[in-house]
């Protein structure tokens, strides 16, 4: 009976993070189509109806000041987004679709860091401050995204792939956060 209860608890926890093959997320990311260091496509960002290039393009977004997106899920290399902010508008706009995750960026933030006593920005092996620290992360560096889980962002930092905590994420690429 104890094993059955444990199995049910494990499955319910896993289900709370998974929806139809996607992992739930709650992070902000950015794209700047006119800055070659912060885009994979200077022609614009395609918002698609589903994850994958075979999904219909619903809209192509392009703005000289870039975009910030709210990510609610990830499926493979694709982020599910539910709203965005364009550089020339002070308000978020609703949308529902998918963008290519490696085309998005995040800046190592200027907030609290992952150590409250002495801010140390670190790249973690897993989405937990208790996991192994792969390397220090330099405040202000802009890095491409590879995924997300909850409020954690998975990033490519140099040759390393790892996780940055919520307090070290900044979606304002050309400015300051916090």
- Report the chain's mean pLDDT, rounded to a whole number: 80
- The confidence band for 138, taking pLDDT boundaries of 50, 70 and 90, is confident
Tell me: pLDDT of 33 over 50: yes
For domain 22-104, the question of CATH label 2.60.40.10 is answered with: no
* pTM given for the model: 0.80
Cα-Cα-Cα-Cα torsion 157, 145, 19, 113, nearest 10 degrees, comes to 60
Every domain of the chain with CATH number 2.30.30.40 lies at 22-104, 107-170
* pLDDT of 79: 96
What pLDDT, in 10s, does the model give residues 40-86?
A: 677 788 999 999 999 999 999 887 778 899 999 999 999 999 999 88
Q: What is the mean pLDDT of residues 164-170?
A: 87
Count CB neighbours of 173 within 10 A. Answer: 19
Q: Determine how β-strand 45-48 pairs with β-strand 152-157.
A: unpaired
- The DSSP code for 109 is P
Query: Do the Cβ atoms of 71 and 29 come closer than 8 Å?
Result: yes
Backbone CA torsion sign across 56, 172, 174, 118: negative
Core vs surface per residue 94-130: b (16+ CB within 10 A) or e: ebebbbbbebbbbbbbbeebbeeeeeebbbbeebeee
CA distance 3 to 31: 46
Superfamily for domain range 107-170: SH3 Domains (2.30.30.40)
Using CA atoms, how far residue 140 sits from 74, 173, 176, in Å, is 25, 9, 9
Over pLDDT 90: what percentage of the chain? 44
When pLDDT is averaged across residues 22-33 and rounded to a whole number, the result is: 88
100-122 pLDDT tens trace: 998 899 988 765 444 444 445 88
């Amino acid at each position: 009976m104890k094993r059955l209860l444990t199995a049910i608890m494990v499955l319910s926890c896993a289900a709370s993070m998974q929806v139809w093959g996607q992992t739930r997320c709650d992070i902000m990311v950015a794209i700047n189509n006119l800055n070659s260091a912060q885009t994979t496509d200077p022609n614009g960002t395609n918002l698609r109806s589903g994850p994958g290039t075979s999904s219909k393009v619903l809209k192509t977004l392009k703005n000289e000041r870039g975009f910030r997106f709210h990510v609610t899920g990830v499926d493979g290399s694709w982020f599910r987004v539910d709203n965005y902010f364009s550089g020339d508008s002070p308000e978020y706009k609703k949308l529902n679709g998918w963008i290519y995750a490696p085309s998005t960026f995040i800046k190592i933030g200027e907030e609290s860091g992952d150590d409250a006593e002495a801010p140390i920005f670190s790249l973690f092996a897993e989405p937990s401050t208790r996991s192994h620290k792969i390397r220090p992360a330099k405040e202000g560096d802009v890095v491409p995204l590879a995924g997300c889980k909850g409020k954690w962002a998975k990033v490519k930092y140099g040759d390393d792939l790892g996780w940055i905590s919520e307090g070290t994420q900044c979606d304002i690429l050309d400015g300051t956060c916090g």
